[in-house]
C-alpha cells in the first residue's frame, strides 16, 4: 500500500483522484486537516481535529452498486470490534454511519475511475461542533480519545481490504446494522420526495420503500427518518 499522510490538504478525495494514474496501484491518502472536504450530492464536508478524513483506492464489489453498502458494513464492524468503541455504530441508507444518539457520525463518498473506486471516508470520532454542513452531526465515540490520524486510517483501510464481503453476506449484514428498517422515511431524489416504510435494500443496494400505493425502488437519494 502506498500511504501518503498530509499535514493539510483541500480534499483527500481530489488529491487521490489526481494521483491515481496507475489503476492497479493501492493508495491511501490521509490528512490531519482537510480544509475543503467534499460530501455526497455536491455538499461540503466539514471537519476539525476530532475528525478523520482519508481516501483510498479499492476494487469495486462484484456488484458495483453494492460497494457503498459493503464499505459501510465494514466500518460498523471495525468500530464494534475496535477496543475504544463503547457502542454499536449503525447504518443509514445509502452511505451514512449513525451513532448511539441516532445522529450522523460518518459518511462515504465514492468516485469510479476506470476499474477502480476512489473511496473517501469522513468520520467524526469525538464530540465536537460541526457548524453547518453535517446537520445533526454526532460522533462515534462518546468521550474524547487521542487518535493518531495516520495509523487509524491505515488500520481501517487494511481492515476493509482484508475483510471483503460477498453480495449474499451484504444483504444479511446490512439489515442487521440498518437503524431504520420497517420505519417511516422520506427519500429526496433531485426534486422528488418519496414517503413510505423502508423495507430493505434490493439486489443492487437500492432502497425498497412501501408507499401507500405500491412498492417503489429508489437508486439514489438522501434519506430522512421520521420519528
With H, G, I as helix, E, B as strand and everything else as coil, classify residue 63: coil
Q: Is 173 in the site for ligand BTN (CB under 6 A)?
A: no
- When asked if residue 122 is in the footprint of ligand BTN (CB under 6 A), the reply is yes
For residues 170, 174, 176 and 180, what is the CA-based torsion angle, rounded to 10 degrees?
Answer: -160
- Cα 9 to Cα 37, 64, 170, 201: the distances in Å are 9, 29, 33, 35
Residue 130 binds ligand BTN (CB under 6 A): no
184 binds ligand BTN (CB under 6 A): no
Least distance to ligand BTN, CB of residue 119, Å: 8
Choose the stretch contacting ligand BTN; rule: CB under 6 A; options: 50-58, 136-144, 176-184, 210-218.
Answer: 50-58
Of residues 27, 45, 79, 147, which one binds ligand BTN by CB under 6 A?
A: 45
Among 5, 32, 33, 43, binds ligand BTN (CB under 6 A): 43
Q: Counting contacts by CB under 6 A, is residue 149 touching ligand BTN?
A: no
CA 183 to chain centre: 21
| Cα–Cα dist 179/184, whole Å | 12
Q: How far is the CB of 179 from ligand BTN (least distance, A)?
A: 15
Q: What are the residue ranges of helices labelled H in the chain?
A: 12-19, 67-81, 149-162, 167-177
Query: Between 40 and 142, whose beta carbon lies closer to ligand BTN?
Result: 40
In the complex, minimum distance from the CB of residue 214 to ligand BTN, in angstroms, rounded to a whole number: 29
User: Which member of 6, 20, 46, 53 binds ligand BTN (CB under 6 A)?
Assistant: 53
From the list 57, 66, 107, 138, which residue makes contact with ligand BTN (rule: CB under 6 A)? 107
206 contact partners, CB below 8 Å, separation of at least 6: 65, 217, 218, 219
**Which residues are within 8 A (CB) of 149 and not within 5 positions of it... i.e. 6 or more apart?**
5, 30, 31, 32, 52, 54
| Residue 220: CB minimum distance to ligand BTN, A | 13
Continuous segment of H or E residues that includes residue 169:
helix 167-177
- 196 makes contact with ligand BTN (CB under 6 A): no
- Residue matched to cell numbers 462515504: 108
Q: Which of 12, 99, 124, 206 binds ligand BTN (CB under 6 A)?
A: 12
The answer to whether residue 105 forms part of the interface with ligand BTN (CB under 6 A) is no
Break the chain down into helix, strand, coil percent, rounded to 5. 25, 35, 40
Which sign, positive or negative, has the C-alpha torsion 102, 184, 167, 55?
A: negative
Closer residue to ligand BTN in complex, CB, 14/174: 14
DSSP 8-state symbol, 179: S
The site for ligand BTN (CB under 6 A) is made up of: 11-13, 37-40, 43, 45, 53-55, 95-96, 107-109, 120-122
Amino acid at each position: 500500500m502506498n500511504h501518503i499522510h498530509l499535514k493539510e490538504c483541500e480534499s483527500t478525495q481530489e488529491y487521490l483522484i489526481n494521483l491515481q494514474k496507475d489503476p492497479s496501484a493501492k493508495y491511501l491518502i490521509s490528512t490531519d486537516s482537510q480544509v475543503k472536504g467534499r460530501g455526497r450530492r455536491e455538499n461540503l464536508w466539514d471537519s476539525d481535529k476530532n475528525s478523520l478524513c482519508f481516501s483510498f483506492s479499492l476494487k469495486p464489489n462484484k456488484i458495483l452498486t453494492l460497494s457503498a453498502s459493503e464499505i459501510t458494513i465494514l466500518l460498523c464492524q471495525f468500530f464494534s470490534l475496535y477496543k475504544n468503541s463503547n457502542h454499536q455504530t449503525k447504518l443509514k441508507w445509502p452511505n451514512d454511519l449513525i451513532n448511539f444518539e441516532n445522529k450522523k457520525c460518518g459518511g462515504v463518498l465514492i468516485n469510479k475511475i476506470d476499474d477502480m473506486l476512489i473511496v473517501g471516508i469522513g468520520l467524526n470520532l469525538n464530540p465536537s461542533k460541526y457548524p453547518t454542513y453535517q446537520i445533526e452531526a454526532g460522533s462515534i465515540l462518546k468521550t474524547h480519545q487521542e487518535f493518531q490520524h495516520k495509523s487509524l486510517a491505515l488500520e481501517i483501510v487494511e481492515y476493509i481490504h482484508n475483510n471483503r464481503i460477498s453480495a449474499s453476506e451484504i444483504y444479511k449484514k446490512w439489515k442487521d446494522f440498518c437503524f431504520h428498517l420497517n420505519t417511516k422515511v422520506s427519500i429526496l431524489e433531485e426534486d422528488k420526495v418519496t414517503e413510505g416504510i423502508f423495507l430493505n435494500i434490493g439486489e443492487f443496494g437500492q432502497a425498497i420503500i412501501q408507499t401507500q400505493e405500491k412498492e417503489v425502488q429508489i437508486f439514489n437519494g438522501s434519506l430522512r427518518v421520521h420519528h
